[in-house]
């Protein structure tokens, strides 16, 4: 894959479209040194950023949690997102939005730094998140050694860059061990999520998923829950200890990048992917959402109060 700093095109940077190679920041930026940086990843389907309002509203919420305010309102960022996608000529791809504190000061406190925002879009190659046959065969997961912190110890509800450090280390270790991703536990030893996607289990026709006490509330997770409600599927949200992986008859991950991705194995325990009718009905329903043929509304829990 071509490194991102060698690509061509245009990136929306603080209000203007600039050449890809010119979208840079100083090495003494607060966001780089102290992780005062947030982001959103948005899928592009048929030339449209999917659930764009949900993502931009969550971006603003993440900024508030990290104690800064975005310089641009949602209307400006809506237009910027569509301008970037249209300029790139992308019909199926990915849009990344970033916001971070600037370089006015390098110390822990940062009350008076500037806040910068960028939007960039690119096409997603086959196998970007998982092998091209993963939808049929599923992926293999292993429990990572690090845990997600308690909400009393970290701003876990912000989609902050710093919160993904544990995920990067954990997924690197999983890949080296021959797995596709790592599962993370919470501070109490229960399942939380994978390194960048939410976790669901199926058991006797019922969906089970961990609480989001120690992590962000996922937008694709909200879509899965809406689909389940539409299809009349019972959903149980609660603490799931690692032993539950052996009680379940199936599992899958969901997220913007991976969509709905079947799991074939967790810590050596295998699942039948092709025969899981509940999983496949949700995959079908999700495809209907993204191609515009579905009639399920995904709640926007991050929308500003009227």
Task: Check if 203 is active-site.
Answer: no
Per the residue annotation, which of 157, 159, 171, 203 is the catalytic one?
Answer: 159
Q: Phi then psi for 159, rounded to 5 degrees?
A: -80, 70
Instruction: Give, in order, the Cα–Cα distances in Å from 74 to each of 79, 80, 117.
Output: 9, 10, 12
Q: Phi then psi for 304, rounded to 5 degrees?
A: -65, 150
The pair of structure tokens assigned to 281 is 């009905």
Tokens 């970007």 locate to 128
Concatenating the DSSP letter of every residue in the chain gives ---GGG--SEEEETTEEEEGGG----TT-HHHHH--EEEEEEEEETTEETTHHHHHHHHHHHHHHTT---SS-HHHHHHHHHHHHHHHT-SSEEEEEEEEE-SS--SS--TT--EEEEEEEEEPPTTSSS-TTHHHH-EEEEEEEEEPPPTTTS-TTS-BGGGGHHHHHHHHHHHHTT-SEEEEE-TTS-EEEESSSEEEEEETTEEEE---TTS---HHHHHHHHHHHHTT--EEES---TTHHHH-SEEEEEETTTEEEEEEEETTEE--STT-HHHHHHHHHHHHHHHT---PPPP-TTPPP-
User: Is the dihedral angle over the CA atoms 40, 106, 21, 73 positive or is it negative?
Assistant: positive
Active-site residue list? 159
């Amino acid at each position: 894959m071509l490194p991102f700093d060698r690509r061509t095109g245009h990136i929306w940077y603080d209000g203007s479209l600039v050449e890809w190679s010119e979208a840079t920041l100083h090495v003494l930026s607060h966001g780089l040194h102290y992780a005062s940086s947030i982001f959103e990843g948005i899928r592009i389907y048929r030339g449209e950023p999917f659930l764009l309002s949900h993502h931009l509203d969550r971006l603003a919420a993440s900024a508030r949690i990290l104690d800064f305010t975005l310089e641009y309102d949602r209307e400006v960022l809506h237009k910027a997102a569509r301008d970037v996608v249209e300029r790139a000529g992308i019909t199926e791809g990915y849009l990344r939005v970033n916001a971070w504190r600037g370089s006015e000061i390098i110390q822990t406190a940062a009350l008076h730094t500037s806040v910068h925002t960028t939007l960039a879009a690119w096409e997603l190659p086959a196998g970007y998140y998982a092998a091209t046959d993963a939808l049929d065969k599923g992926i293999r997961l292993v429990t990572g050694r690090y845990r997600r912190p308690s909400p009393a110890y970290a701003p876990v509800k912000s989609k902050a860059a710093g919160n993904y450090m544990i995920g990067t280390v954990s997924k690197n270790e999983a890949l080296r061990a021959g797995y596709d991703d790592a599962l993370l536990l919470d501070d109490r030893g229960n399942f939380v999520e994978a390194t960048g996607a939410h976790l669901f289990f199926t058991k006797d026709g019922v969906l089970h998923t961990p609480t989001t006490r120690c992590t962000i509330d996922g937008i694709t997770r909200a879509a899965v829950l809406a689909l389940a409600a539409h299809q009349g599927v019972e959903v149980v949200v609660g603490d799931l200890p690692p032993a539950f992986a052996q009680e379940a008859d199936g599992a899958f991950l969901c997220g913007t990048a991976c969509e709905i991705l079947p799991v074939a194995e967790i810590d050596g325990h295998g699942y039948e992917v092709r025969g899981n009718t509940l999983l496949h009905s949700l995959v079908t329903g999700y495809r209907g959402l993204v191609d515009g043929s579905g009639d399920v509304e995904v709640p926007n829990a991050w929308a500003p109060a009227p």
